[in-house]
Amino acid sequence: MPAIAEIRSTALPHSVPRGSDLPTCPVCADSMIAAEASAYLPDNVIGHLWSCDTCGYGFVTKHVVQRIACN
């Protein structure tokens, strides 16, 4: 089965509880629990590969990790 992937933005307009951050499949609207794979990328970015168990659609999300300064 060929894999189709796209990169989706994870920027949220407002703060929401962590449980709401889980994506849903844009094709069949099934909810996804865990990423299939994750990778640490340059510039403090973490990428997650998501694959829908129901329809097989795949996409990538990217999150920028903010550095916290400790005094």
How confident is the model at residue 27, as a pLDDT?
92
Domain count, the chain: 1
Distances (CA, A) of 33 to 9, 24, 67: 18, 9, 26
Domain span at residue 66 reads: 1-10+23-71
Q: Is 16 contained in some domain? A: no
Tokens 């060929």: give the residue. 2
How confident is the model at residue 49, as a pLDDT?
93
State how far the Cα of 69 lies from the Cα of 29, in Å rounded to an integer. 39
Q: Is 17 contained in some domain? A: no
3-state percent breakdown (helix, strand, coil) of the chain, nearest 5: 5, 30, 60
Query: What is the pTM for the complete model shown?
Result: 0.62
Averaged in consecutive runs of 10 residues, what is the pLDDT profile of the chain (71 residues)?
58 53 86 90 90 92 82 67
Q: Is 55 contained in some domain? A: yes
Distances (CA, A) of 34 to 29, 38, 41, 71: 15, 10, 19, 35
Q: Is 18 contained in some domain? A: no
Q: Is 15 contained in some domain? A: no
Q: Is 38 contained in some domain? A: yes
